[in-house]
Amino acid sequence: MNRAWDTIIVGAGHNGLVCAQMLASAGQSVLVLEAGAEVGGFAAPREFAPGFRASIAAQYLHQFSDALLRSLQLERHGLRFAATGLATTVLASGRHVRIAGDHVDGVSAEEATRWQQLDTRLARFAKFMATVQSTMAPRLGSSDFQDRWTLLKMGLRLRLLGRREMREFLRIAGMNVYDLATDELEDPLLQAALGMDAILGSNFGPRAPGTVLTLLTRRAGEATTTGGYRLPIGGLGAFAQALASAATAAGATVRTDAPVAGIVIENDEVRGVDLANGERLSAARVVSSVDPRQTFLSLLGTEHLDTGFVRRVDHFRHRGITAKWHLALDALPTFTGLPSAQLGDRLVVAPSLNYLETAYNASKYGEVSVLPALEISIPTVHDRTLAPAGGHVLTAIVNYAAYDAKDDLGTAREKLEANALAVLESVAPGIRSLIRSSELLLPMDLERICRVTGGHWHHGDLAFDQYLMVRPFPGAAQYQTPIRGLYLCGAGSHPGGGLTGLPGRLAAEQIQRTAP
């Protein structure tokens, strides 16, 4: 073998890059191996039509903490924002409400007050959750000081919410977002806005238990930054580029077009990796940002693992349900009743919670939603670098598309695209004639392009049984695995997906704590 690295990181998604930067800064020799041609994973850039660019999956940077942004010095590495603090506008045909933090326009004064109260309360809970999410999940029943201290701190922080608020937190944390939203709010658009934040990326409709948890985890990410919904100049690919540049500046090497075929084990310890081209690279440890299923079943191989553990890997739920849509437009579209100044908002098309629930129903039966919900971004309103002169980019997250579609992939894609277009037309009549090019990526497509099993936003459902100290599953939580020297650092680990950088950061910290 050639020279031995301290650490090889598999996958240059944002988590792999954050982990690389931190370990390299701590003095380790670090090699990042990325299968694709570009870094960024779900946030990698994609030219989906000549001259039109977007990121493959992610649309907004809204959960990446200010602290991490500063400590990685991303601005020094070229990160600039075209827009920050974007408002959310929820649209139904002919009507819309606009949400900017705790302030909402387009509803009755009483409803606005209700929103403000609810938002303030959720913000408080999110702040508590943020501390939970930015700490390594402790092992239960452990006698380790670190674990006990973390648990104690969590309990204390919960208690510090005050008796009433702690009770309220414990009351709602296990609820579904449908009940929460209908208990607290009256306006169907506002209710749907809350529902949308809860279900985005997860295999849930708003009535599914645990959707308040997913809402809170998302808001917890948002509580770590004052930037709100942000668009980097050049798209999220530029954010990934800045991360790669920070990692490189810290001394790490990032290699693209270098798919890893297997993790090399000798005497039950990690020795390095084999590349698909046959090259063998040696390292004292391997950190995988690839989803847990692929990491264990494909890259490592079950022969190195116990059956009970493999069972848990196999039972990890990771079916993606979210599709991504890219449109190249000849001009800015108009949305009925929406002032053009609001075109740059985060636009959500979801008229009611029942609309979301009905959209979800289809996916249960292997179908795509007849009336899908959309989270739309028109980044070219803020950033002209993404499209040729005059042209515009409209991207949307489209919910829902069953991973195991009954139809063949092509048919499922055509159906969802037609359905999404009909919904889009209902709020932006005439947009069809502006479309120069359209690309819809189903979870199966995302799986293939981004090499994430299931094409799942979080690399695996965020649910109570796959959360905190049991994420992704017992035996692989705390970023460590049954194999000495093999670590996890991707969205499959605590606290899950979204562009938070947290799994990458926490893994790096754990490695420094435990590495020989």
Interface residue with other proteins among 161, 249, 297, 435 (CB under 8 A) is: 297
Tell me: does residue 311 bind other proteins (CB under 8 A): yes
Interface residue with other proteins among 64, 309, 316, 467 (CB under 8 A) is: 309
11 binds, among ligand FAD, other proteins, none (CB under 5 to 8 A by kind): ligand FAD
Toward ligand FAD, which CB reaches closer, 252 or 446? 446
C-alpha span between 508 and 254 (Å, rounded): 17
Toward ligand FAD, which CB reaches closer, 14 or 382? 14
Secondary structure element (H or E) that encloses residue 510, with its range: helix 502-514
Return the range that interacts with other proteins (CB under 8 A); candidates 60-68, 299-307, 351-359, 508-516: 299-307
How far is the first Cα of the chain from the last one, in angstroms, to the nearest whole number?
A: 21
Q: Which residues contact 290 (CB under 8 A, 6 or more apart)?
A: 10, 11, 260, 299, 451, 452, 490
Toward ligand FAD, which CB reaches closer, 251 or 259? 259
Which residues within the stretch 389-428 sit at the binding site for ligand FAD (CB under 6 A)? Answer: 397
Tell me: does residue 144 bind other proteins (CB under 8 A): no
| Cβ 21 to ligand FAD shortest distance, Å | 13
Amino acid at 339: P
144 binds, among other proteins, ligand FAD, none (CB under 5 to 8 A by kind): none
How many residues in total does the chain contain?
516
Tell me: does residue 43 bind ligand FAD (CB under 6 A): yes
Question: Closest Cα to residue 293, out of 279, 305, 281, 277?
Answer: 305
| Cβ 36 to ligand FAD shortest distance, Å | 4
Tell me: does residue 268 bind other proteins (CB under 8 A): yes
Upper half-sphere CA count for residue 199 (Cβ side, 13 Å): 36
Toward ligand FAD, which CB reaches closer, 106 or 259? 259
Return the range that interacts with ligand FAD (CB under 6 A); candidates 115-123, 355-363, 406-414, 450-458: 450-458
| Cβ 306 to ligand FAD shortest distance, Å | 23
Which residue(s) pair with 58 in the sheet?
Answer: none
Which residues within the stretch 486-515 sit at the binding site for ligand FAD (CB under 6 A)? Answer: 490-491, 497-499
Return the range that interacts with ligand FAD (CB under 6 A); candidates 122-130, 243-251, 335-343, 443-451: 443-451
- Rounded to the nearest 10°, the torsion over CA 61, 7, 449, 241 is 40
Tell me: does residue 306 bind other proteins (CB under 8 A): yes
| Cβ 491 to ligand FAD shortest distance, Å | 4
| Cβ 373 to ligand FAD shortest distance, Å | 13
Q: What Cα–Cα distance (Å) separates residue 191 from each residue in 68, 165, 286?
A: 32, 22, 44
Tell me: does residue 69 bind ligand FAD (CB under 6 A): no
Q: What Cα–Cα distance (Å) separates residue 165 from each residue in 174, 209, 277, 477?
A: 15, 21, 56, 29
Return the range that interacts with ligand FAD (CB under 6 A); candidates 58-66, 90-98, 168-176, 329-337: 58-66
Q: Torsions phi, psi of 364, nearest 5?
A: -65, -25
Toward ligand FAD, which CB reaches closer, 469 or 499? 499
Question: Closest Cα to residue 461, out of 266, 246, 208?
Answer: 208
Question: Closest Cα to residue 322, out of 504, 88, 56, 98?
Answer: 56
Tell me: does residue 60 bind ligand FAD (CB under 6 A): yes
Q: What is the DSSP letter of 135?
A: S
Q: Which residues contact 285 (CB under 8 A, 6 or more apart)?
A: 6, 7, 8, 270, 485, 486, 487, 511, 515
Q: Which residues contact 20 (CB under 8 A, 6 or more apart)?
A: 7, 9, 12, 30, 32, 247, 250, 252, 254
In the numeric block, the tokens 């847990």 are attached to 292
Which residues within the stretch 164-223 sit at the binding site for ligand FAD (CB under 6 A)? Answer: 201
Toward ligand FAD, which CB reaches closer, 451 or 494? 451
Which residue(s) pair with 280 in the sheet?
Answer: 274
| Cβ 156 to ligand FAD shortest distance, Å | 29
Q: Rule CB under 6 A: which residues touch ligand FAD?
A: 10-16, 33-36, 41-43, 57-60, 62-63, 201, 259-260, 289-290, 322, 324, 397, 446, 450-452, 457-458, 490-491, 497-499
Q: Rule CB under 8 A: which residues touch other proteins?
A: 268, 297, 301-311, 314, 475, 482
